[in-house]
């Protein structure tokens, strides 16, 4: 089987069938049509990723799952005549052509119409007819249609499209404001009656035309929005200038979040000095003035525990393994983090032990270290329980240093028993909380956190082979539950600061991640648990340098950051002319907030940075004010300063995610 056919088969199984797409005709069509032929050459390597992709004319090709979901909802059958509004690259029309008798597709951009027509001709999809025009008016000459699908969102369903449905015909399209859309299915019951069904929340580009939005600016129905150039001026007027992060005034600007239970501080990359120094300054202020005592990192629990012992003046652990010695070493082993931990150790020296601020890891990749930590703890407090745990963990032991191999093997039923074993170990540990916790509450917290990590890591590495959304959700749910456990252990008055990537701390439901890919994250979960007691602060930059790698487990590189794209939030901030500022997004009535609500591109650089594919691999559509409560801007930034380290050999436990 050719590689592209294998990729399509995996996509259909993991992204479609396992998410509930059951129509055999839809699955067969998605398995047949080569998506890589409908995207620009530079994006073909991403053709079967679980994500939308950019195409020509500044437009996008929808996520495979969304294409399949809409076609299945429309109930296409052999012999149907179909109208597609927003043909784009021609991919969805090609998929529908494998099911229906005839597909008519309208596209607003002549460039896309020409490209799609040529692709479809070359690939032999002869039952698709395309034209350039206003999709909101439909295609009256070819009506009536058995099904109509729109790949763009309108403020309401255009009357012209409803009238062009045959009796019994189905129309599927996103409807609503530019920031709050629902996928709607309309069925025509007779000449005058239509039945509507809500299929759930989505996020699509606007449907422009006579019976849709009036301009390409994603504003209010019927109104011509203010010119794009006005938005940077609004940002400049609303932005609060910030001094250098080392200036005490920098942290003081964040006193507004003093009453929050959790303050989540993001970063737009894992290798930018200003983001680390800014988080350090904000955290210092929250600790010194407002009683915060928990610093929770997007880092593995055992590694962060080494920092915690250092800053809280506790004796080192018995093992000799250095923390943060695996790829990407620079993410936490850098001069900026070292400066913060040096300050924190000094601050804690003047505090009683019970009041000292601690550092905790939220991530779940340290499988082998966490197994060892649980067993070491039980060896000390309950040797008999340690023997039982050792037996249970024996299932995972052969894979502890290569967990991705376990994930592959776990696809067969022979390794399912590991799930039960790790759950039983955690359950048994929690069942002895009164006994173990009474002896040493800190040690018990450490042991249960590691046992929880082993349980969730086992599930994560299995889920990794079933689709990115499931594994991502397991990871972020684990991080949230670990944070909640630390807050509970530190007492009802405890308050935490979280350091993690923007993709984790910004509310995923306001992004393409949540609306298009079904992903959630810590920020979304914290808002659900703590409401206004969670403050989500994002960070951004226009250009500069960044510490990163080109490939996973590759060498550290210092790369220039490309100037932000014209259609991005970052470019609006850059065009404001302000070098460094805080933008409070919490004022529901502010004009700048209203103008930034419409989804547009936002940049995400993780451990991996590939400038040559930046638009497709590092930008995601988001609604900034719904994603964050505030945004911190540094127009030009520089890379973190890595500390010398000796790399630990063996597979990276943070494989395969780049964030």
The residues annotated with a catalytic role in the active site are: 62
Tell me the Ramachandran region of residue 291: left when phi exceeds 0, alpha when psi lies from -120 to 50, beta otherwise.
left
> Roughly what angle, to the nearest 10 degrees, separates helices 367-381 and 301-311?
60
Cα 247 from Cα 251, distance rounded (Å): 8
Q: Which residues pair with residue 334 across a beta bridge?
A: 642
Tokens read off for 540:
């951004």
Tokens read off for 224:
């011509």
Tokens read off for 656:
């395969």
* Strand pairing report for 181-188 and 194-202: antiparallel
Query: Could you tell me which residues come within 8 angstroms of residue 656 by beta carbon, excluding any fewer than 6 positions away?
Result: 404, 464, 552
- Which residue is listed with tokens 């070359």? 122
Compute how many other C-beta atoms are within 10 angstroms of the C-beta atom of residue 416.
11
Tell me the Ramachandran region of residue 603: left when phi exceeds 0, alpha when psi lies from -120 to 50, beta otherwise.
beta
Cα 421 from Cα 389, distance rounded (Å): 8
**Integer angstrom CA distances of residue 3 from 10, 124, 288, 327:** 11, 21, 57, 29
Cα 404 from Cα 505, distance rounded (Å): 26
Query: Could you tell me which residues come within 8 angstroms of residue 49 by beta carbon, excluding any fewer than 6 positions away?
Result: 468
Q: Which residues pair with residue 314 across a beta bridge?
A: none
Query: Which residue in 92, 94, 96, 91 sits closest to 79, CA to CA?
Result: 96
Cα 83 from Cα 20, distance rounded (Å): 25
Query: Could you tell me which residues come within 8 angstroms of residue 167 by beta carbon, excluding any fewer than 6 positions away?
Result: 188, 189, 190, 191
Tokens read off for 123:
């690939």
The answer to whether the CB of 626 falls within 8 A of the CB of 208 is no
Cα 511 from Cα 229, distance rounded (Å): 24
Query: Could you tell me which residues come within 8 angstroms of residue 261 by beta carbon, excluding any fewer than 6 positions away?
Result: 487, 495, 496, 530, 533, 534
Cα 40 from Cα 576, distance rounded (Å): 32
Tokens read off for 191:
């000449």
> Roughly what angle, to the nearest 10 degrees, separates helices 417-431 and 441-463?
160
Q: Which residues pair with residue 541 across a beta bridge?
A: 634
Question: Residue 549 gets which letter from DSSP?
Answer: B
Compute how many other C-beta atoms are within 10 angstroms of the C-beta atom of residue 307.
25
Task: Please work out, in degrees rounded to the nearest 5, the angle formed at the alpha carbon of residue 625 by the alpha carbons of 620 and 628.
Answer: 80
**b/e for 625-650, b at 16 or more Cβ within 10 A?**
bbbbbbbbbbbebbbbebeeeeeeee
Tokens read off for 636:
């030009």
Cα 504 from Cα 499, distance rounded (Å): 10
């Amino acid at each position: 089987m050719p590689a592209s056919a294998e990729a399509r088969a995996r996509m259909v199984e993991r992204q479609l069938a396992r998410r509930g797409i059951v129509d055999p005709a839809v699955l067969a069509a998605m398995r047949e049509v080569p998506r890589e032929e409908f995207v620009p050459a530079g994006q073909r390597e991403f053709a079967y990723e679980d994500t939308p992709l950019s195409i020509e004319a500044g437009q996008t090709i929808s996520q495979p799952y969304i294409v399949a979901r809409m076609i299945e909802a429309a109930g296409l059958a052999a012999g149907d005549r179909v109208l597609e509004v927003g043909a784009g690259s021609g991919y969805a029309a090609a998929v529908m052509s494998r099911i229906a008798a005839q597909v008519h597709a309208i596209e607003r951009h002549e460039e896309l119409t020409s490209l799609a027509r040529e692709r479809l001709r070359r690939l032999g999809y002869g039952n698709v007819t395309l034209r350039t025009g206003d999709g909101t008016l439909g295609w009256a000459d070819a009506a009536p249609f058995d099904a109509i699908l729109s790949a763009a969102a309108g403020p309401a369903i255009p009357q012209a499209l409803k009238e062009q449905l045959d009796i019994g015909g189905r129309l599927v399209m996103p409807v609503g404001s530019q920031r709050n859309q629902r996928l709607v299915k309309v069925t025509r019951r007779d000449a005058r009656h239509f039945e509507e069904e809500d299929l759930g929340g989505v996020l699509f580009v606007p449907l422009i035309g006579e019976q849709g939005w009036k301009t390409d600016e994603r504003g209010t129905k019927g109104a011509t929005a203010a010119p794009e150039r006005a938005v940077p001026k609004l940002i400049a007027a609303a932005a609060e200038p910030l001094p250098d992060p080392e200036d005490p005034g920098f942290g003081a600007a964040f006193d507004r979040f003093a009453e929050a239970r959790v303050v989540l501080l993001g970063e737009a990359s894992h290798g930018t000095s200003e983001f680390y120094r800014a988080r350090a300054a904000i955290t210092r202020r929250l600790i010194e003035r407002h009683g915060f005592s928990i610093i929770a990192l997007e880092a593995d629990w055992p590694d962060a525990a080494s920092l915690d012992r250092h800053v809280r003046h506790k004796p080192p652990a018995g093992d000799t393994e250095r923390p943060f010695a695996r790829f990407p070493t620079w993410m936490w082993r850098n001069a900026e983090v070292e400066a913060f931990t040096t300050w924190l150790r000094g601050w804690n020296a003047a505090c009683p032990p019970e009041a000292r601020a601690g550092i905790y890891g939220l991530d779940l990749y340290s499988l082998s270290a966490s197994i060892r930590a649980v067993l070491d703890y039980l060896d000390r407090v309950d040797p008999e329980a340690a023997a039982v745990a050792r037996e249970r963990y024996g299932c995972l032991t052969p894979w502890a240093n290569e967990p991705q191999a376990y994930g592959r093997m776990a696809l067969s039923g022979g390794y399912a028993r590991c799930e039960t074993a790790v759950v039983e170990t955690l359950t048994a540990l929690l069942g002895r909380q009164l006994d173990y916790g009474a002896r040493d509450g800190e040690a018990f917290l450490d042991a249960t956190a590691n046992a929880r990590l082993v349980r969730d890591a086992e599930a994560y590495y299995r889920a990794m082979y079933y689709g990115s959304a499931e594994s991502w959700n397991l990871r972020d749910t684990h991080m949230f539950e670990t944070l909640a456990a630390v807050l509970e252990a530190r007492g009802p008055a405890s308050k935490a600061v979280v350091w993690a990537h923007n993709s984790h701390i910004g509310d995923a439901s306001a992004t393409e991640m949540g609306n298009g890919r079904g992903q959630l994250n810590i920020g979304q979960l914290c808002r659900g648990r703590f409401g206004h007691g969670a403050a989500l602060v994002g960070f951004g930059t226009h250009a500069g340098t960044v510490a990163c790698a080109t490939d996973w487990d590759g060498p550290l590189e210092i790369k220039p950051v490309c100037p932000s794209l014209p259609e991005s939030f970052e470019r609006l901030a850059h065009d404001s002319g302000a070098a460094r500022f805080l933008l409070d997004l919490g004022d529901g009535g502010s004009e700048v907030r209203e103008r930034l609500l419409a989804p547009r591109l936002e940049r995400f650089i993780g451990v991996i940075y590939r400038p040559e594919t930046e638009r497709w691999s590092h930008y995601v559509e988001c609604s900034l004010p719904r994603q964050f409560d505030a945004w911190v801007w540094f127009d030009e930034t520089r890379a973190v300063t890595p500390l010398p380290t000796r790399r630990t050999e063996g597979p990276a436990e943070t494989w395969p995610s780049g964030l």
